[in-house]
Chains A and B, each alone.
Chain A
Amino acid sequence: MSAVPVKPGDDTPLRERVLRRLRRQPTMRGALLVLAGIVALALIAPFLAPQNPYDLTAINVMDNRLPPGSKGMAGFTFWLGTDAQGRDLLSAIFYGLRTSLFVGLAATAGALTVGVTVGLAAAQFGGRIDALLMRVVDFILGFPSILVALVLLAAIGRGVDKVILAIVIVQWANYARLMRAAALVERRKEYIEAAVNQGLPTFYIMRAHLLPNSIGSVLVVATVSIAGAITLEATLSFLGVGVPVTEPSLGLLIANGFEFLLSGEYWISLFPGLALLFLIMSINVVGERLRRSFDAHRS
């Protein structure tokens, strides 16, 4: 007998029903459009940005803190003004979006990988392994993530890779708990029992049956969590332990403008802040609607 994966019959229809429902919602369409626009801006930032904010030779310190719409020494207009180093804010925001999005996506992917693996193992093996893994999860979730990430980065120093690592460490436990719960439900179903009775190897069952059929709800939660990861990165960078000054994310751009906010030079903080606002809100709306449609069709 060949090992044909036995999938439950309503797998594809569920996905299609969810998508069909989502297409009917105008808010969802709007949020998706904004999100697609932001991602596109981040991707083509080098071609679109009037200035390369990482290139120190392109920046003129004499242009520092110019209000929006002023003309700089090099002759072009700073539509959103400049920061304290004379960087064109519009370009800095495009590049900042890149850093913020990259950290958010990479950290979520990392946390998801670790969490799903741990959750799956806990559900499959049960007993002592399960108890031990879940104790670790409880321990980590018992502390506010911002504090753990803050102290961790204080110990290992700042950097894009280190911020990603810190976010993975504080967020994987969430996915582990969700994945375990989903896999435990799935494991009780008959097709898994059938696979076990066929004598299929445990790892094969985990990878080919348990994983694809229980990861759905975890992936949906992960969508919203990308916004959480981006917020966490922005906060850590604002506190000065996040990304390095040479690769400013949106959070760091906002932090750089903070001291000038009090003297009325609002644009240095405000515009990166608005970019962050649109990014987080659009991800949240998309993720939230996705979750609701998914839940509605599940039950």
Chain B
Amino acid sequence: MATYALQRLIQSVFVLLAASIVVFLAVYGIGDPVEILVPPQASAAERAELMRRLGLDLPLWRQYLVFLWNALHGDLGRSFVHGVPAIDLILSRLPATFELVLLAMTIAIGVGIPVGLVAGLDTESRLSRTIMAGTVLGYSLPNFWKGMMLILVFAVLLGWLPTSGRGATVDILGLKTSLLTLDGLKHLILPALNLAIPNMALMIRLVAAGTAEAKAQDYVKYARAKGVRPRRIVGRHILRNILIPVVTVVGIEFGSLIAFSTITETVFAWPGMGKLLIDSIYQLDRPLVVAYIMLATFLFVSVNLVVDLLYAALDPRVRLAGEAA
């Protein structure tokens, strides 16, 4: 287990390093930041002075090393637009995104597992077919469009819920949250539901497929022959065996939820880090975009690492294969 964990850790560091090179080249290699920073009437000497101050006169590989060194010390540059360290700005928006992602994941699991079980236990029934057709809609339609339809129905036509913003928040341990006020929850429910829909669909399909497969296994047949009650067969035998893929997907989808929150946050004007990214792109706020990607990459890589280690802990075959290789 320790060998496997170490291997995966080293791999993760390499992925982060590779990502930092790609991001650096993509964002700093394209275009000239001096063009944006200096006024057009600046003299050649002023330009050269600014280039020197920003370290842009150095060869690209040395610029990269400076960038990497600063990044390792938690300095990902200063936002051009807001004039504060980019990382601080993103971290200040993190709680809003995090509560959105958390609630979305809860909805996806809370609805996905029971509905998937129902669909998987009798794959030929009309109900199961309807559910499966619905899941295709759930993950294939563009997320922004679903969000707009939710707004149209629940906010514009029915007038039950607000269309945008975060609503009232309360401070818990210095962090603002909308989860504990009625107004906050009202604002949160539509964006969280919208973010949850594709994952809910994925979870239903995953659980349904796993259930259909497990149902035909000998251990289920044996339990049934022994006279175990159907409820207990589902709860103890089937559900337990489909949990491994569910854990994996929950972990992997955590990253995609953060990515997709950019869309949901834009549609619902939710003040999270995804909306911040989109705004920074419009405002050509390069350091902020870079900081966001590096932070997001760090999150994805860490989550993948944790998932893989959990997976190895749950399923001995994985770590044995890893050590043999």
Q: Taking the complex as formed, is A9 at the interface, i.e. its CB lies under 8 A from any CB of chain B?
A: no
Contact with B along A121-158 (1 / 0, CB 8 A): 00000000000000000010011101100111011100
Contact between A151 and B26, CB atoms less than 8 A apart: yes
Contact between B281 and A150, CB atoms less than 8 A apart: yes
Q: Which residues of A contact B255 (CB under 8 A)?
A: 143-144
Contact between A152 and B140, CB atoms less than 8 A apart: no
Contact between A144 and B256, CB atoms less than 8 A apart: yes
Closest to A277 in B: B141
- The contact size tier of chain B is 35 or more
Contact with A along B160-195 (1 / 0, CB 8 A): 000100000000000000000000000000000000
Contact between B152 and A235, CB atoms less than 8 A apart: no
Closest to B278 in A: A239
Contact between B262 and A273, CB atoms less than 8 A apart: no
Q: Which of A144, A231, A261, A262 contacts B142 (CB 8 A)?
A: A231
Q: Taking the complex as formed, is A51 at the interface, i.e. its CB lies under 8 A from any CB of chain B?
A: no
Complex CA distance for A156 and B30, rounded to whole angstroms: 8
> Given A156-B30, A231-B142, A151 and B136 touching (CB < 8 A)?
no
Q: How far is the CB of B129 from chain A (nearest CB, A)?
A: 11
Contact between B18 and A288, CB atoms less than 8 A apart: no
Contact between A144 and B15, CB atoms less than 8 A apart: no
Contact between B266 and A239, CB atoms less than 8 A apart: yes
Q: Which residues of A contact B27 (CB under 8 A)?
A: 151, 155
Q: Which of B88-96, B101-109, B217-225, B293-301 contacts A (4 or more CB under 8 A)?
A: B293-301
Contact between A251 and B137, CB atoms less than 8 A apart: no
> Given A139-B15, A144-B255, A241-B281, A280 and B152 touching (CB < 8 A)?
no
> Given A155-B27, A281-B137, A142 and B15 touching (CB < 8 A)?
yes
Contact between B281 and A235, CB atoms less than 8 A apart: no
Q: Which residues of A contact B149 (CB under 8 A)?
A: 273
Q: Which residues of B contact A240 (CB under 8 A)?
A: 278, 281-282
Q: Taking the complex as formed, is A276 at the interface, i.e. its CB lies under 8 A from any CB of chain B?
A: yes
Contact between A146 and B260, CB atoms less than 8 A apart: yes
Closest to A153 in B: B281
Contact between B259 and A154, CB atoms less than 8 A apart: no
Q: How far is the CB of A156 from chain B (nearest CB, A)?
A: 7
Q: Taking the complex as formed, is A18 at the interface, i.e. its CB lies under 8 A from any CB of chain B?
A: no
Interface of B, secondary structure class, is helix
Q: How far is the CB of A221 from chain B (nearest CB, A)?
A: 14
Complex CA distance for A255 and B147, rounded to whole angstroms: 12
Q: Which of A144, A258, A281, A285 contacts B148 (CB 8 A)?
A: A258
Contact between A143 and B297, CB atoms less than 8 A apart: yes
Contact with B along A280-299 (1 / 0, CB 8 A): 11001100100000000000
Q: Which residues of B contact A146 (CB under 8 A)?
A: 259-260, 262-263
> Given A152-B26, A254-B145, A281-B137, A239 and B263 touching (CB < 8 A)?
yes
Q: How far is the CB of B132 from chain A (nearest CB, A)?
A: 10
Q: Which of A109-117, A177-185, A263-271 contacts B (4 or more CB under 8 A)?
A: A263-271
Q: Taking the complex as formed, is B156 at the interface, i.e. its CB lies under 8 A from any CB of chain A?
A: yes
Closest to A145 in B: B259
> Given A150-B262, A152-B26, A239-B266, A142 and B152 touching (CB < 8 A)?
no
- Most chain B CB within 10 A, of A227, A276, A280, A288, is at A280
Contact between B142 and A234, CB atoms less than 8 A apart: yes
Q: Which residues of A contact B140 (CB under 8 A)?
A: 227-228, 231, 280-281, 284
Q: Taking the complex as formed, is A238 at the interface, i.e. its CB lies under 8 A from any CB of chain B?
A: yes
Q: How far is the CB of A226 from chain B (nearest CB, A)?
A: 11
Q: Which of A254, A266, A280, A281 contacts B156 (CB 8 A)?
A: A266
Q: Which residues of A contact B143 (CB under 8 A)?
A: 235
A-facing residues in B259-317 (Cβ within 8 Å): 259-260, 262-263, 266-267, 277-278, 281-282, 289, 293, 296-297, 300-301, 304
Q: Which of A147, A258, A281 contacts B259 (CB 8 A)?
A: A147
Q: Which residues of A contact B154 (CB under 8 A)?
A: none
Contact between B163 and A276, CB atoms less than 8 A apart: no
> Given A139-B18, A231-B141, A262 and B262 touching (CB < 8 A)?
no
Contact between B262 and A269, CB atoms less than 8 A apart: no
Q: Taking the complex as formed, is B151 at the interface, i.e. its CB lies under 8 A from any CB of chain A?
A: yes
Q: How far is the CB of A223 from chain B (nearest CB, A)?
A: 13
Contact between A143 and B281, CB atoms less than 8 A apart: no
Q: Which residues of A contact B80 (CB under 8 A)?
A: none
Closest to B282 in A: A240
Q: Taking the complex as formed, is B144 at the interface, i.e. its CB lies under 8 A from any CB of chain A?
A: yes
> Given A144-B259, A150-B281, A264-B156, A238 and B30 touching (CB < 8 A)?
no
Contact between A155 and B26, CB atoms less than 8 A apart: yes
Q: How far is the CB of A155 from chain B (nearest CB, A)?
A: 5
Q: How far is the CB of B268 from chain A (nearest CB, A)?
A: 11
Q: Which of B156, B259, B297 contacts A262 (CB 8 A)?
A: B156
Contact between B289 and A235, CB atoms less than 8 A apart: no
19 contacts between A and B (CB under 8 A): A143-B300, A150-B281, A151-B27, A151-B289, A151-B293, A156-B30, A234-B142, A235-B144, A235-B263, A238-B144, A239-B278, A258-B148, A264-B156, A270-B152, A273-B148, A276-B145, A277-B141, A280-B142, A281-B141
Instruction: List 7 A-B pairs, minimum CB-CB distance, nearest first.
Output: A144-B259, A154-B281, A147-B259, A238-B144, A144-B256, A231-B142, A234-B142
Besides A143-B255, A144-B300, A261-B152, 9 new A-B residue pairs in contact (Cβ under 8 A), listed by A number: A146-B260, A147-B296, A227-B140, A231-B140, A231-B141, A234-B145, A255-B144, A281-B136, A285-B136
Mark B residues whose CB is within 8 Å of A.
15, 18-19, 26-27, 30-31, 136-137, 140-145, 148-149, 151-152, 155-156, 163, 255-256, 258-260, 262-263, 266-267, 277-278, 281-282, 289, 293, 296-297, 300-301, 304
